[in-house]
Amino acid sequence: MEKLVYQLWKKDDDSLENFKESLLSNLTKDLDGLVKELQINIADADVEPASGLAQSNYPPAANAVIFLKVQSYFLAHTLEDHLHKVAKKIHGFVVSESVILDDIKKSPLGLRSEGFSQVVFLEKPETMCTFDWFEHWTKHHTKIAIETQSNFIYIQNSIVRSLQKSSPAFIAIIEECFPYEAMSDPEVFYDAVNNPELLAKNGQVMMSSCEKFIDFKKIEVIPTSRYRMV
């Protein structure tokens, strides 16, 4: 079983709403039988309150991120043909998945998940070796990420390889789901409602850890609506 992650950009003459409908309806039907699991994340109007959280160092940011699982990428040779039907451009990655938190009740099949999903694409700083990067991320930062934030889904995807030569040199993709209010309220985001001291502490601890392994000049942060379709 292989997990694939694709960034998708809508066609220039397509509205975001039409693009969303194409993904949820047409793409889901086209991929029926090709995929074991399908999750569609869309930067739609429902996550506009989270615009302050978005970051893009490779603009324009992707309009959607697709997570799917296939028996083998080799056997799914028509997969990208279907993606190109609805998208102007795609960047794909084979990843190794690590599920840290997954409150499945808040993400029912076929419906919009609760809150919002923040998808983060990370690159390794040039001054850091790959081994040290993963040591910090998995053995140090993971605990901090789930203890200082209100995330109820936290999935780490280590990139095995890119599927397009033009893709940025990302090393990992994170998906975190938060309550709706966390889009615009830092107290909710950092799990510190009505507690200014805890808010300051959690924010400082989180950012201190991030600064040790994240190149903020090469990061993509995309707030999305999450749909598990298959």
Domain positions in the chain are 2-225
Q: Are 28 and 38 in contact (CB under 8 A)?
A: yes
- Element spanning 225, H or E: strand 220-228
- Show pLDDT as tens, one digit a residue, over the chain (230 residues): 999 999 999 999 999 999 999 999 999 999 998 999 999 999 999 999 999 999 999 999 999 999 999 999 887 778 999 999 999 999 999 999 999 999 999 999 999 999 999 999 999 999 999 999 999 999 999 999 999 999 999 999 999 999 999 989 999 999 999 999 999 999 999 999 999 999 999 999 999 999 999 999 999 999 999 999 99
User: In angstroms, rounded to a whole number, what is the distance separating the alpha carbons of residues 141 and 150?
Assistant: 15
DSSP 18: H
- 2-225 under CATH 3.30.70.100, yes or no: yes
pTM above 0.85, yes or no: yes
User: In angstroms, rounded to a whole number, what is the distance separating the alpha carbons of residues 90 and 88?
Assistant: 7
**Cα distance between the two ends of the chain:** 15
Instruction: Give the strand pairing for 55-56 and 220-228.
Output: antiparallel
Q: For residue 7, which amino acid is it?
A: Q
Computed on alpha carbons and rounded to an integer, the radius of gyration of the chain in Å comes to 17
Instruction: Give the strand pairing for 2-10 and 87-102.
Output: antiparallel
Helices (H), 22-129: 28-30, 79-86
